[in-house]
Amino acid sequence: MKYKQLGATEEKISVIGLGTTGSGTAADSNVQKAENRIRIYKTGIELGINLFDTSELYGGGYAEELLGKAIHGARDKIIIASKFNPDNSSFSGVMKAVEGSLLRLKTDYLDLYQVHWPNPFVPLSETIAALEDLVRQGKIRHLGVGNFSLDEIREAQSFCRHEVLATIEEEYNLMCRDIEKDIIPYCTEKSITVLAYSPLNRGTLSWNPEQRELLETLARKHDAGPAQIIMNWVVGHVPVVALTKTDNLDHLRTAVHAIDLRLDEDDIKKINATFRSKLCMIPTDQISLQPSENRPIYHTVEEAMHNKYKWLPSPEMLSRNLLFKGTFKPIRLVARRSTADNNNSAIHMDRYDLIGEMKKFWAWRIAYGDDRPIPAYVREVEA
């Protein structure tokens, strides 16, 4: 395993960390599924992974419970990074949230505690003050933020009186490369670690035949799999550590072995040139809202504003971030090849993260109604 420095600290973290999403909740889990997750985490430690990323949001805290069981007897070997829900961003909310995480993880301290999403209804200065107070109390060692724009990162840093930001957690993969423009250069300069979630784009490794062919060619060249090529590319960026999630031991070992590859300069140039997502502006009335198999969705702005399904962050929260701070990530859409040129045929939301895409869709609608086309990356599929 290879390691990088955690921010400007003296801590060393594995270049591949294990995420804990998808654990389900205590109500819908079963013994076999829970035992498999614990086995994955323990095997990760054996393979040299020392960074584990979790959150009170994942499974309503159940992910933290499982991780707490897995790390019993190995606490001093690992770095635990957890996050609090955006609606817990007030001073008292942060204090309450951390106690819940510590209890579920069965530990006295967190190595890293992060703002999961910005909350426009709570002053960021108040949130940062709470995190610094937790450092003073010894309940957390380092602090970070997640899903922040560069301006928000700078704002958070300006409110730090005694600490510095150690991390920024952001989505980063070959399909979502927005942070290359400003956040990665800034983090490189300021010695802030980028924790990259969804490095494999949740299994959608390419969006067109040209990208797929390149990955297969590079995989043959390096005697590896396409996913390994991507993981190696992700962690090849100086400040970036990849957070992967799997329920399969073979996939875990494959991800770990990916760091041993040596992509040459020509490989990297080809990847960078081929994986460029074209930003489109799509009228919102052309987007078909497909229901999730397991979870209900909203069909009107009023429903999204009411948020009876308790989506976090809420569409309204994302809408305010959009209006007042300009924070918005393009939505992901899927179109048959015949509709990708934005004609009147319906375009569907990518099932990559359907509820996540729904949140962004309704945030845009709350902010702008039907008047403005929404920024989107459109993946083509065969008709």
User: 190: how many CB neighbours lie within 10 A of its CB?
Assistant: 16
Please give the DSSP secondary-structure letter assigned to residue 71. Answer: T
**Candidate list 41, 58, 113, 377, residue with the active-site label:** 58
Q: What angle do CA 328, 318, 183 make, to 5 degrees?
A: 40
- Distance (Å, whole) CA 107 – CA 112: 13
Token pair of 310 as six digits: 């308790």
Tell me which residue has tokens 């490794």. Answer: 205
Spatial neighbors of 297 by CB under 8 A, at least 6 apart, are 289, 291, 354, 355, 358
Helix, strand, coil percent content, the chain, rounded in steps of 5: 45, 20, 35
Spatial neighbors of 127 by CB under 8 A, at least 6 apart, are 89, 90, 91, 94, 115, 119
41 is catalytic: no
Residues designated catalytic: 58
